[in-house]
Amino acid sequence: MIATHPRQIRIPAADKARLRIIFLAKHACADGRPDAQDGNHAIYHHEMRTTLEAIGLNVDVANSYEALYDRPDADFVITLLNRGGFQNSEMLAPLLLSRRDMPYLGASPIVRGLSDDKYLSKMIARARGVPTMAAQLFRRGGLFESPAFAADRLVVKPNASSASWGVKMVDTWAEARDHADGLFALGHDVLVEQWAPLLDVAVPVVGGSGGQPWILPPMMYVPADPHRERSYEEKRGLIDAGDDPLILVEDADLRSRLEAMTAALLPELWPFDYGRFEFRYDPVSGQVLFMEVNLSCNLWSKKTISRSAASIGVDHAALVETIVGHSLARQGLLDEAIVQVAA
């Protein structure tokens, strides 16, 4: 395979043969069928494993944190074990690997924690001059504050959940408090934010050749009903909702604004290997508001990052090889001169 884009990375064949890689994911050992609880995540994990193997990497698999308690007999770990069944589990694999000084795909534990905290990421956006919707955080067992803003519609959700689990839209702060109490009982901090008119826009960012962030074309989610939030069951494929209705952002001004906002946030989070910066766009007013950032997010070929890369001629396997190659290079596991030639 020849590189089709100047930012694409090809991992040299000698390094593919030499490096021992562990692929760590909940469904790393599964056969590619949907899981009763995790739905299409099981399909995604199987696809990632087979893609890594097809690239020519020397891959062993593991499916639990126990594989990281001692230093793995490997050179590098690709971890997708983000949902461990307990609060802030996204940080555990990076922490265990950092403890053993083991290079891994993704971002540092503290950056992962920052990105997974939706409220803190909004505070960063405001500090960087990037507009976001009004929001208020309620920590479980913390000090209660009265509502700090008024809104006709509110979104109540766990502050660090994924795939819209636990999200509810309400019309009053009393309803918000009721839902928050239920989330507190399940162990979650709660974010209440002003609802913003829906179109969701994602700006994928991956590491490419040259060691700098590569901002991929923004993708817009265009649902049949823009006033309805997507459910967890839809996102995980637990109910039949078809493929995500994603389209490229064609408007040059909107695209420029999205890329500028993303670039303003990058110094707070870089280095990382891949992520998705999410915004809420109102086509009536033209308003763009930062919503959240998801690092080490879904790399399934049916999802945003891969479909964005495909729009510029970079297929799924080439995208995965680029992301892994960037991580290997930035952590000193490849010969820099070879990477420059191969990119």
Within 13 Å, how many C-alpha atoms sit on residue 192's CB side? 28
Give the confidence band of 3 by pLDDT, cuts at 50, 70, 90.
low
- Has residue 163 got a pLDDT over 60? no
Once rounded to an integer, what is the mean pLDDT over residues 121-135?
96
Whole-prediction pTM: 0.89
Burial class (CB in 10 A: 0-12, 13-18, 19+), 242: exposed
Q: What is the mean pLDDT of residues 13-39?
A: 88
User: pLDDT tens digit string along 102-119?
Assistant: 999 999 999 999 999 999
Helix (H) or strand (E) holding 103: none
Distance CA 155, CA 76 (A): 39
177 compared with 336, residue with greater pLDDT:
177
Range with the poorest average pLDDT among 14-28, 51-65, 159-173, 190-204: 159-173
- The per-residue pLDDT of the chain, averaged, comes to 89
Predicted pLDDT at 342: 46
**Banded pLDDT at 205 (limits 50, 70, 90):** very high
pLDDT of 296 strictly over 90: yes
d(CA 133, CA 275): 21
Residue pair 226/196 in contact by the 8 Å Cβ criterion: no
pLDDT at 243: 66
The answer to whether 207 touches 271, Cβ cutoff 8 Å, is yes
Q: How many CA atoms lie within 13 A of 150 on its CB side?
A: 0
Residue 271 reports pLDDT greater than 80 = yes
Give yes or no for residue 338 having a pLDDT over 50: no
301-336 pLDDT, tens digit each: 999 999 999 999 999 999 999 999 999 999 999 985
Instruction: Give the model's confidence band at 341: pLDDT under 50 very low, under 70 low, under 90 confident, else very high.
Output: very low
- Asked if the model's pLDDT at residue 84 lies above 70, the reply is yes
Residue 126 has pLDDT above 80, yes or no: yes
Segment 86-98, tens digit of pLDDT = 778 889 999 999 9
What pLDDT is recorded for position 331?
Answer: 96
Quote the tokens at residue 224: 């049949």
Q: Which residue has the tokens 């707070």?
A: 268
**Is residue 240 over pLDDT 90?**
no
Mean pLDDT of 163-184: 89
Contact 30, 46 (CB under 8 A): yes
Dihedral sign for Cα atoms in the order 77, 16, 300, 217: positive
Q: With pLDDT > 90 as the criterion, what percentage of the chain qualifies?
A: 73
pLDDT of residue 146: 87
Distances (CA, A) of 37 to 86, 232, 318: 15, 11, 30
pLDDT at 232 over 70: no
Tokens of 76: 């590098």
Higher per-residue confidence, 27 vs 78 = 78
Residue 34's pLDDT is: 81
The radius of gyration computed from the CA coordinates of the chain, to the nearest angstrom, equals: 20
Q: What percentage of the chain exceeds 70 in pLDDT?
A: 89
The winner for highest mean pLDDT among 164-168, 232-236, 278-282 is: 278-282
- Give pLDDT tens digits for 242-262: 566 799 999 999 999 999 999
Q: Cβ-count burial of 105 within 10 angstroms (0-12 exposed, 13-18 middle, 19+ buried)?
A: buried
Q: Where are the alpha helices (DSSP H) in the chain?
A: 13-18, 41-55, 92-99, 109-116, 118-127, 173-185, 232-235, 252-269, 304-310, 316-330, 336-342
Q: Compute the average pLDDT of residues 194-202.
A: 88
For residue 233, name the pLDDT band (cuts at 50, 70, 90). low
Who wins on pLDDT, 35 or 220? 220
CA distance 46 to 90: 20
Asked if 275 and 194 count as a contact pair (C-beta separation under 8 A), the reply is no
